Structure 1
Amino acid sequence: MTNSPALAASEPVIIPIDTPSLGDRSYLAHDGDVAFVVDPQRDIDRVLAIADEQGVSITHVFETHLHNDYVTGGLALARRTGASYHVNAADDVAFERTPTRDGDVVEVSPTLRVRAIATPGHTFTHLSYALESAGGSGEHDVTAVFTGGALLYGTTGRPDLLGQEHTHDLVHHQYGSARHLAAELPDQAAVLPTHGFGSFCSPGSSGSTTSSTIGDQKRSNPVLNRAEKDWVQQTLADLEAYPAYYVHMAPANSAGPAEPDLTAPRTADRDTIAASLGAGEWVVDLRTRTAFAAGHVTGTLNIGLDGQFATYLGWLIPWGTPLTLLGESAQQVADAQRELVRIGIDHLEGAATGSPQDWTARPLGSFERAAFADLAQVRHHRHVVVLDVRRESEHNDAHIEGAVNIPIHQILTSVDEVPAGEVWVHCAGGYRASIAASVLAAHGRHVVAIDDDFAQHAGSAGLPVTSAA
């Protein structure tokens, strides 16, 4: 594979399109003339720009499954380009598509064809797509496989998103599907998953791997080198909470989402912002945690664009709550709006840009930022509450003795469970701690946000850290 538009007939170009805030990848593949797209995100202008840059026409769009972590752009892209839209024939959808089944072969061009492979597990109707490209002899060889959530780098998609009543069947399907791909496809075939780059669609972590092959996965992926019973047991043990907004994604994708409207929201002035806060609506400050801690509109929440913004906002916000964004620039607001339409939050009440002094006439709120070394010193002099907002598994692996663990996704409903007193809140690196600190500050709590690396500095600072090991 190559990223050069000048290519031989046997060299397909495959361009990954990353969405880091959701931990996903889409793909555009072409032969220098025509292209197909796999699992496109909602904001299809990114895909269209790449096709234009490469000088190719999109003729086919493929969905590996009805996604649970984002709203697809597949239908909108197909309608915009006139491409055929390939969705599993067994999926109950409200739009016309090209019904695709296990074993179907789609001739994209004389040199590229795509073969559908049934790989249930992440969903019951999941399909993977083997890319077969023509060599000099005219024979088609498998050069890559788009695996969606069936086979990720070092793991697989999680099997519990359709409800606990289906998890047992799906986890065994997932094991068989991964084995099927490994047995059927050549070792040199590139593995191109949609999930696994930080997405909560995978159980456990896929690590920092950014590319792999079937042969690599045979050597490193537990699903391909462990007995089924052992793998199933470990996979089920690794399942943790997933973002609450997921429940809305598959229904939206089944209904056939339209192309998003990225028109800038109306401007919110000081009075509007104050009224929104007074009405219990969400006003989210997009700035970095450093800027937010130094000064912010009291009552606003900090979910910065420098982390998994859409994932955590979608996880925490009660679905349908009116939302206003505060950003340093119009571009920051536009970037956040793009992130939000990917998870189906299409309407914003308004937005404001500038600085906190532009957004309110009242005194600004603020809170301290600190390091773990500061916490170690403070605990010698006075009692403080240590709040750990990491996931339960992270806390169980290693935690500061006496710390209270309330995972970030539970903080809104568990504020009353945070013990009284001065609260020092931490996570693994600072991003989630700032979100939680903003929630506590909005409730009038005295809070200090620890903006530090837990793994590197908590123990070395002299704090008593209990480890599962």
Structure 2
Amino acid sequence: MLLEKIKTPGLSHLSYLLGAGGKAAVIDPRRDCEIYVEKARNEGLRITHIFETHRNEDLVSGAPILAELTGAEVFHGPNADGEVVYAKTTREGDCHAIGQLEIRVLETPGHTFDHVAYAIFDSEYPDKAVGVFTGDALFVGDVGRTDFYPDRKREVASLLFDSLHKICDLGDQAIIYPAHGAGSVCGSGMADREFSTVGHERRNNPMLQIEDRDAFIDRKVNENHYQPPYFRLMEHLNLVGGEAAPRVLRPQPMSLGELSSCDAGRVIDVREPLAYAAGHLPGSINLPVGMIPAFAGWFVSEGEKLALVASSQDQLSTAMEHLVRIALDNIVGGYVGVVPAAASGKTMRSIPMIGTKEVERRLQEKPGDWTLLDVRDADERQAQAIEGSRHIYVGELNEKWKDLDPRQRYTLMCASGMRATVAAGWLDAHGFDHLDVYLGSMGAWKAAS
């Protein structure tokens, strides 16, 4: 008997391989799905079932691809916003056997209308559920977001309230297996820990402490969440089925000349922010490797041709993996060698860094041509803000940069300077010449205070 978690870094996506009696099931597989086949084969298991908890918004499902590789059947809950063409519908009360294990379906709408959870029972010990795959309904330390139906926001929050109670009714002993961990865009309050039980969550999860339905609904509808444009692409692909991931997850190597003459619509520098700020190719934007899953979907359009710039071939490979998982993978090549390019006389751009004393000085003098631009999210901004600063969330600069005057001076800030450099790189690529970044940002501001 086997239950193994497969984590996808960056997206903090959690999928699972469950096996018994020579059979195996995969829950919420990712697009590059050969890993499930290999792990099942190594355990002497045949994948016969693939279960989706809901139509994902933040990554391409690997379910149709894995089904083609293995011959397994795909199961998806009812009430999807359209037909999931590659899946059979499974409903409340359905039971699927994997050896001596039983997977019982619970309809748990709220995060999405088609959301289901899968309770695991051992037929030799049938009284209580062993565990439950909770998808995006219940996380460790948080619950699912309910902002995907803005015209029905109170209704879906109420549905989630009922769904959470249904999950809790499985009993305190049930181990929870969520579809995401901390760092995912699907929740902001998740614990770093990726293991828990229904009982522990019932006693400690702040959202499960809210016993009054109306209070729970009010809390959910007043949350701040962002929906990057690529969510619409994920929703479409996860109805019709996405294509298999490229077999080689490494961009074609490019020379500096090839990079300069290629037809890429966007050059993405995936190096660390300080390296990018110190010197980067004109027109390139900065999306550090670890920030690609969270922010590429704001700044890269569907089908847009991309060229990647990195410090190493391994960095290029990791960047491509992240992009493939969200189907922004029209990558024409990758270049390594910014420092040699500068040494050869290639024109470079840079973005200065400034500290707290300089920010304080400018705030006191209040120059008319300068703005301190805070690109943190709304919750961070609400918790603490620097008086005199202006707020635009970093992702929303994909369009709101048009509201800014490129003749003005801007200092970009966030919590540390990481997102601020991403924002500065976007503005730099769009003709803003008078930029700097507050190094340390709110962290440095708090320390100085």
In structure 2, the residue matched to 1:9 is: none
2:322 to 330, 339, 342: 339
User: Contact (CA 8 Å) 1:200, 1:243: kept in 2 or not?
Assistant: no
In structure 1, the residue matched to 2:437 is: 449
User: Contact (CA 8 Å) 2:60, 2:237: kept in 1 or not?
Assistant: yes
Quote how far apart the aligned CAs of 1:354 are: 2.9
Quote how far apart the aligned CAs of 1:170 are: 1.3
TM-score (norm: length of structure 1): 0.86
In structure 2, the residue matched to 1:423 is: 410
Counterpart mapping for 1:374-389 below 5 A: 375-376=359-360, 383=367, 384-389=370-375
1:29 aligns with 2:32: no
Q: Which segments of 5 or more consecutive residues in structure 2 lack a partner in the other structure?
A: none
Paired residues in the alignment total 441
Identity of aligned residues (%): 29
TM-score (norm: length of structure 2): 0.90
In structure 2, the residue matched to 1:348 is: 331
1:296 to 280, 291, 309: 280
1:168 aligns with 2:168: no
Aligned-partner residue type, residue 436 of structure 2? V
Quote how far apart the aligned CAs of 1:26 are: 1.0
Quote how far apart the aligned CAs of 1:368 are: 2.2
Q: Secondary structure at the match of 1:117?
A: strand
In structure 1, the residue matched to 2:5 is: 16
1:254 to 239, 263, 268: 239
Query: What is the CA–CA distance in structure 1 between the aligned matches of 2:311 and 2:299, rounded to whole Å?
Result: 23
Aligned-partner residue type, residue 147 of structure 1? T
Quote how far apart the aligned CAs of 1:262 are: 3.8
Query: What is the CA–CA distance in structure 2 between the aligned matches of 1:363 and 1:38, rounded to whole Å?
Result: 49
User: Contact (CA 8 Å) 2:28, 2:179: kept in 1 or not?
Assistant: yes
The verdict on how the C-alpha distance between 1:139 and 1:374 changes in structure 2, with shifts beyond 3 A counting, is same
User: Contact (CA 8 Å) 1:196, 1:205: kept in 2 or not?
Assistant: no
Query: What is the CA–CA distance in structure 2 between the aligned matches of 1:461 and 1:382, rounded to whole Å?
Result: 20
Deviates more, 1:250-259 or 1:264-273: 264-273
1:287 to 271, 288, 291: 271
Quote how far apart the aligned CAs of 1:249 are: 1.0
Quote how far apart the aligned CAs of 1:196 are: 4.7
User: Contact (CA 8 Å) 1:28, 1:38: kept in 2 or not?
Assistant: yes
User: Contact (CA 8 Å) 1:262, 1:338: kept in 2 or not?
Assistant: no
1:458 to 430, 445, 448: 445
Quote how far apart the aligned CAs of 1:453 are: 6.0
Q: Secondary structure at the match of 2:55?
A: coil
Counterpart mapping for 1:45-444 below 5 A: 45-91=34-80, 92-93=82-83, 95-110=85-100, 112-135=101-124, 139=126, 141-161=128-148, 163-183=149-169, 185-202=170-187, 204-226=188-210, 227-263=212-248, 264-275=250-261, 281-305=265-289, 307-358=290-341, 362-372=346-356, 375-376=359-360, 383=367, 384-418=370-404, 421-442=408-429, 443-444=431-432
Deviates more, 1:31-40 or 1:380-389: 380-389
Deviates more, 1:126-135 or 1:361-370: 361-370
Q: Secondary structure at the match of 1:332?
A: helix
- Please give the root-mean-square deviation of Cα atoms over the aligned residues, in Å: 2.6
1:249-291 alpha-carbon deviations (Å, 9 max, x no partner): 1210110223211434444443443345xx7821001111121
Query: What is the CA–CA distance in structure 2 between the aligned matches of 1:363 and 1:77, rounded to whole Å?
Result: 46
Query: What is the CA–CA distance in structure 1 between the aligned matches of 2:207 and 2:165, rounded to whole Å?
Result: 8
Q: Secondary structure at the match of 2:335?
A: strand
Aligned-partner residue type, residue 162 of structure 2? G
The verdict on how the C-alpha distance between 1:54 and 1:380 changes in structure 2, with shifts beyond 3 A counting, is farther
Query: What is the CA–CA distance in structure 1 between the aligned matches of 2:387 and 2:235, rounded to whole Å?
Result: 41
Quote how far apart the aligned CAs of 1:320 are: 3.1
User: Contact (CA 8 Å) 2:280, 2:350: kept in 1 or not?
Assistant: yes
The verdict on how the C-alpha distance between 1:210 and 1:400 changes in structure 2, with shifts beyond 3 A counting, is same
Quote how far apart the aligned CAs of 1:416 are: 4.7
User: Contact (CA 8 Å) 1:32, 1:55: kept in 2 or not?
Assistant: no
